[in-house]
């Protein structure tokens, strides 16, 4: 078979990643960690956006609601197929193990991510699930596209959150109200939580 479709150009990749960054901002507006994803499919040589998603586990009470999973579910519903072989998924943060496996189950053709995730990244940072030949037969992976923009968004978000927490503590300390005594819970390990 020689009908392998021609993929997106570098400029088209960048455009799609900018859309994923917009999705990350949506997450931030909802008070979620800013991560966004976009799935595209080539139609007559032009990438079309099939679905978008942003990180929202807190607002939906759903630990699986990472940007990639949200976008995957939308795309699969829309295309009426649980497999998405001709699609590219763009995500602003390196996928975690859950998302990496979901992307491989969906047989996504290509994954492009922006910033690396040294804490939970499963595309090489902590573990490289895509690099496991026993697991991955279909999905190509590239990282680093617009990594500075995506990483900056995350850094600003966490810096803001730390500042807000500090302000809260300072306000509590400055008020005449006695600080609430934290409930002491002893775990089996003897540690206080």
User: How many amino acids of this chain bind Zn ion (CB under 5 A)?
Assistant: 3
Q: Which is nearer to Zn ion, 38 or 96 (CB)?
A: 96
Q: Which is nearer to Zn ion, 157 or 171 (CB)?
A: 157
- How far from chain centre, in Å, is Cα 100? 10
Q: Which of 4, 14, 68, 168 is catalytic?
A: 68
d(CA 111, CA 91): 8
d(CA 153, CA 143): 17
Cα distances from 129 to residues 20, 30, 71, 124, 167, in angstroms, run: 22, 30, 20, 8, 40
What is the smallest separation between the CB atom of 28 and Zn ion, expressed in angstroms? 17
Binding mask 39-78 for Zn ion (x = CB under 5 A): ---------------------------x------------
CB-CB contact of 87 with 67 (8 Å): no
What is the smallest separation between the CB atom of 35 and Zn ion, expressed in angstroms? 8
Helix (H, G, I), strand (E, B) or coil at 168: helix
Q: Is 154 in the site for Zn ion (CB under 5 A)?
A: no
CB-CB contact of 187 with 126 (8 Å): no
Residues 93-132 contacting Zn ion, CB under 5 A:
96, 99
Q: Which two structure tokens, joined as six digits, stand for 148?
A: 């500075």
Q: Which is nearer to Zn ion, 20 or 96 (CB)?
A: 96
From the list 49-57, 89-97, 154-162, 164-172, the region that binds Zn ion by CB under 5 A is 89-97
What is the smallest separation between the CB atom of 66 and Zn ion, expressed in angstroms? 3
Cα distances from 19 to residues 14, 40, 43, 121, 164, in angstroms, run: 9, 11, 18, 21, 28
Q: Which is nearer to Zn ion, 66 or 110 (CB)?
A: 66
Query: 68 catalytic, yes or no?
Result: yes
Binding site for Zn ion (CB under 5 A): 66, 96, 99
Catalytic residues: 68
């Amino acid at each position: 078979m020689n009908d392998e479709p021609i993929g997106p150009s570098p400029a088209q990749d960048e455009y799609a990643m900018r859309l994923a960054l917009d999705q990350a901002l949506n997450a931030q507006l909802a008070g979620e960690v800013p991560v966004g994803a976009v799935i595209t499919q080539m139609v007559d040589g032009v990438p079309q956006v099939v679905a978008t998603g942003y990180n929202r586990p807190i607002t939906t009470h759903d630990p699986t609601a990472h940007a990639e999973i949200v976008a995957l579910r939308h795309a699969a519903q829309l295309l009426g197929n649980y497999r998405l072989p001709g699609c590219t998924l763009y995500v602003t943060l390196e996928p975690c193990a859950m998302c990496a496996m979901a992307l491989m189950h969906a047989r996504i053709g290509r994954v492009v991510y922006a910033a690396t995730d040294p804490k939970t990244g499963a595309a090489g940072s902590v573990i490289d699930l895509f690099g496991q030949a026993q697991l991955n037969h279909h999905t190509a992976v590239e990282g680093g596209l617009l990594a500075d923009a995506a990483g900056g968004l995350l850094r600003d978000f966490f810096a803001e959150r730390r500042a807000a927490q500090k302000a809260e503590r300072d306000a509590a300390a400055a008020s005449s109200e006695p600080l609430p005594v934290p409930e002491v819970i002893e775990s089996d390990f003897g540690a206080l939580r």
